[in-house]
Amino acid sequence: MTAEPQKFLLRVYIASDVAVKVTLTERPKSVEELINMLREKDPDFDGELCCLVDVQDLPEKGTLKVDQISDHNLIPTLIPTTWPDIFPVPTFSYEVEHILEDGNVAFETSGTMLKLTRAQKHNILENMAEVMHKFKPYPSDRDIGMAAEVSGWYGWKTSLKFKMGNFRTKLARSGCVEVSVNTGKRSKSNPENEHPHSNIKRARRAEVNYLPDFPRGEKQDSLEEMRVQIISLVEKREKNLLLIENLMQKTSALHRQEIVLENPLVKTFLEKWPALQIEAQVCAEFQRITNVNLRNQFYVELDRHTPQLVALFRQKAARTGKVSEMLRDILSVYDRTLVLRAIPVYLREEDPRFFKMWNVSIQFIHKSASIRLLKSKIVCLC
C-alpha cells in the first residue's frame, strides 16, 4: 500500500487585505519556484513574518506573504565587471559568423585574406562597441588596441575608436546618464561652452559603476523620498540595517549623480546621506562602485605590506625621539606576547592552564603558577 503524497495547504497574501488558498501537492525544489519572495509566519518567533530562505523550513500548513519585488527595482543598471585581461569576442550575425569561419579556413589553407562588405564590417563594429561599453564607456587607447588585436586585425583599432564615439552619441541621445553628462560642450551653436575634450567625467581606474542610470520605474522624486526615509531610519536607536541596505542600493544612482555632477563637500554630503557613516554601508558602497570586497581587499593588502611595515617600525624604534620611544614600547609588548603565545605551541604544550586571557575589568586573584595577559587597547603583561 503506497503512502499518500504529502500536501501543503497555504494561505498566501497577495495584498494587505487579499488572501488566496494555495495547495501544493509536493514540496518545491527551491525557493525560486515560489513567486517572487515568500515570507512565512514562523512559530519560533511568535508568529511574526520571517524571510523564507530555505525551502526545507516550509511547514505543511502556514501563512505566506508575497512581495512583488522586481530585480530592476533592487539593483540599478550596473556594469558587471572591470576590463578583462582577455577581451571576449561577441557573437556576430549568422551571415558574418559564416563568412568569418570560411575566411579562417581559406587563410589557413592558402593564406587568402578575407574582404568584408561595408554592412558586414558595420555589424562587427556594432557588436564590438556594445561589448566594450559594458566594461568601460570611455576605453583607453590600450583597451581599444587589445580589443582590435583580439578581433584579428590590429588595423581595426581606428575603426573601433570612431565606432565607440558614435555608440556613445547614440546612448547619450537615448538618455544614458554616464555619457550624456559629457554632452552640451562647445559647438557651433554654443561657442561659449566648455571645450568638448576638457573636464570629461569618466570612471577612474578602479571604478566600475561610475554613474548608473536610475532603476526602471523610479524617478528623482521617488528616490528623494527614499533618501528622506533613510535619514529617519538612521536616526532611530534600533536601526533596521536590512531595510537601510535595500534603500541605499535602490538610491545608489541618486547619490552617485550628486557626487559626480554637484561635487559637494564631504560634510554636506554625509548630512544628506548619513547611512554612509555606518561601517557596513561604507563597505557596501565600495562594493557597488568597484565590485571589490573592501574588507577582504584591505586584509590582503595589509598582509602583503606587513613585513615591510614591521621592518620600518623596528628601524624607527632603534633611533631616539618621542616617536621611537612609543614604537619601542609597542613592539616590546607585542614581542613578549608573541613569544609567550608561541612557546606552548612550539613545545606542543596542550595544558590550557599555562596561558590565560583576562579582561582589565575583571578582578582576579594572583597565582604564580600561571601567566596572565590583560586585554585592553594594548595587551599588557603582568
**Which residue intervals of the chain are DSSP H helices?**
71-74, 94-110, 118-135, 141-150, 156-174, 177-180, 220-235, 241-250, 252-257, 266-272, 279-290, 294-317, 322-346
Q: Is 113 helix (H, G, I), strand (E, B) or coil?
A: coil
Residues contacting 241, CB < 8 A, separation 6+: 278, 280
Residue boundaries of the structural domains of the chain: 8-69, 94-180, 220-292, 296-381
Q: Per-residue pLDDT tens for 22-80? A: 677 777 766 666 654 454 444 444 544 555 544 555 566 666 665 554 444 444 445 45
Mean model confidence pLDDT for the chain = 73
Q: In whole angstroms, what is the distance from residue 169 CA to residue 196 CA?
A: 13
pLDDT band at 178 (very low <50, low <70, confident <90, very high): low
Over residues 297-339, the pLDDT tens digits come to 899 999 999 999 999 999 998 888 888 999 999 999 888 888 8
pLDDT (0 to 100) of residue 377: 40
pLDDT of residue 306: 92
Q: Give me the mean pLDDT over the 182-202 stretch.
A: 62
Closest CA to 21 of 57, 58, 61: 61
Q: Kindly state the cell numbers that stand for 56.
A: 526545507
Section 337-349 average pLDDT: 82
Whole-model pTM?
A: 0.50
| pLDDT tens digits along 4-19 | 666 777 776 655 555 6
pLDDT of 310 reads 92
Which among 224, 321, 234, 242 is positioned nearest to 284, based on CA atoms? 242
CATH number of 8-69: 3.10.20
All cell numbers assigned to 327: 614604537
pLDDT confidence bin for 370, thresholds 50/70/90: very low
Q: Is the pLDDT of residue 357 over 50?
A: yes
Q: What percent of the chain has pLDDT over 90?
A: 9
Kindly state the cell numbers that stand for 176.
Answer: 544614458
Is the pLDDT at 108 greater than 60? The verdict is: yes
Kind and range of the H or E run holding 375: strand 371-375
Q: What is the pLDDT of residue 259?
A: 84
- Taking only the tens place, the pLDDT of each residue in 112-168 is 887 778 787 778 788 888 887 777 777 777 777 766 665 555 556 667 776 777 777
- Residue 212's pLDDT is 77
* pLDDT tens digits, one per residue of 245-297: 999 988 988 888 888 888 889 899 999 999 999 998 999 888 888 888 889 98
pLDDT of residue 373: 45
